[in-house]
Amino acid sequence: MEVFAGVSGWDADGSVRILSGVSFDVTEDQERRLRSQDIQAELREDLQRAHQRETVAQVAGGIAHDLNNHIGLVLWNLEKLEPLGESDAEIAESLNQMRRAIDMSRDLISGLDELVRPDIPRSGEDLGKLIPTAVELIGRPRAERHDVRVHLPEDVLPIWCNPTEILQVIVNLVINACDAGTKDNPATVEIAAMPRETDAPARHPDAGFLMRNNSEFVLFKITDTGTGITEDVRERIFQRNFTTKGSMGTGLGLPIVARILQDNRAALWVDTLPGSGTTMTVAWPSKPAVAEAARAAKLPQGIDLKVPIDPTLLKGLQALVVDDLPDVALVLASMLEAGGAEVYCETDPEFVKEVLADAPSDWSVLVTDLHMPGTDGAALARFAATLNPPVPVVLVTARTDTLDEVSLRDFAAVLQKPVSGAQLVNAVLRAAASQEGIRQERSSQGTSSD
């Protein structure tokens, strides 16, 4: 109950004669305000738990990646020791024990992701309601200091999502936008949801991916008037542990955003100009995604260490191998050399691009890791496809879980680390044979037209 009272009448000598007042029952308003506060508190707790879960997942993913690389080194050396077991039963049993240990280690590593990243329930939501909620979650002082403005169309904006995940994305991007200015010149921020018929940018996304065929999505943009992003920083912003905020940053915010986009088959584009601010454009699906069969067809189904490598299979092939870990690159090269290929081994993907561009016809196949500093394996595959003639690419990675169906199409084969020599040799043989068939077909077509 709220009561407002005052003097409404006085005597001739000025003494108060009449008091009057009015009372209001504000019980309903207070209950509504308390419910809103409880909802906000619950959402903040959900976001905090989700952020903690994603942080653990990022760390676990990095550990799994490194462990798979090391297991791959052991695996190849184990393959080379196999002949010793043919004549010595004790050595054969030791090798069997090592194989079982490798299998157990791979199972433990594959279980890490399921442990820290349980299945996330998703449902149909209205983006137009979630964006204002995200602004409330960043706090009124921050929103007022950076003049955060929201522009929404009148129509409902249906998206298929987990509300906590989409709020994580929006809140992370808005906070980054607020931090894009300077102390003397704070950035202003605008969040705008686009009408449903708006087309997504035509270029390849900077994070996540977009199924353009037979898909529906909703676009929203977060724009700031900050200092912009330089090209060298832009190339690294989605890398784990990279931050421009010094001790104030964790280097996990945008990698977490990228992972959520990946899981939801959503996409993000970065448009920026140093000194003129940045726009982050996000495309989010309106309906549940339909899983494609491409992933199952390209991913390996197991490792058989006892399959020998035919030393003549790759005879005459020129293979280019790139992995940012020198030992891993050397092991992959050794596997291909055991199959008869001539191999050039490199750790710098940027230099590999130069080598490919200089003489693409010299190379039968490119074997690459996925996550590397600067140019990653997916970018290398897209580059190799633009060459004349195009060079087929075989991907060998410990993180096949970060691949989407669109990226899979850029590779002739995708192998999960640790990989056996026989697996790699056979994948390279198929990739090179397929590409050679395409080259011969093009050559015959050119001859016919003459």
> How many helices (H) and strands (E) would you count in the chain?
13, 15
The token pair that represents 221 in the structure block: 């943009």
Residues 367, 377: Cα–Cα separation, whole Å: 9
Residue 113, SS3 per DSSP = helix
CB atoms near residue 172 (< 10 Å): 21
Q: Which residue has the higher pLDDT, 247 or 174?
A: 174
Residues 338-355: tens digit of each pLDDT: 899 999 999 999 999 999
| Residue 36, C-beta contacts closer than 8 angstroms, at least 6 positions apart | none
Q: What residue type is assigned to position 410 of the chain?
A: D
CATH number for the domain running over 123-285: 3.30.565.10
For the chain, give the number of residues: 450
pLDDT of residue 298: 47
Mean pLDDT of the chain: 79
Q: Does the predicted model carry a pTM greater than 0.75?
A: no
Rg for the chain, CA atoms, rounded: 29
Domain boundaries, the chain: 30-116, 123-285, 294-449
Q: Is the pLDDT of residue 16 over 90?
A: no
8 A C-beta contact, residue 346 and residue 323: no
Residues 411-447: tens digit of each pLDDT: 998 988 878 888 899 999 988 887 765 555 555 555 4
Tell me how many degrees the CA angle 307-313-436 measures, rounded to the nearest 5.
130
Q: Which of 72, 67, 62, 61 is nearest to 396 (CA)?
A: 72
Lowest-confidence pick of 22-36, 255-269, 271-285: 22-36
pLDDT of residue 259: 82
What is the longest distance spanned by two Cα atoms in the chain? 125
Residues 368, 349: Cα–Cα separation, whole Å: 9
Q: Is the pLDDT of residue 228 over 80?
A: yes
The token pair that represents 234 in the structure block: 């832009």
CATH number for the domain running over 294-449: 3.40.50.2300
pLDDT of residue 394: 94
pLDDT band at 384 (very low <50, low <70, confident <90, very high): very high
Q: Is the pLDDT of residue 127 over 80?
A: yes
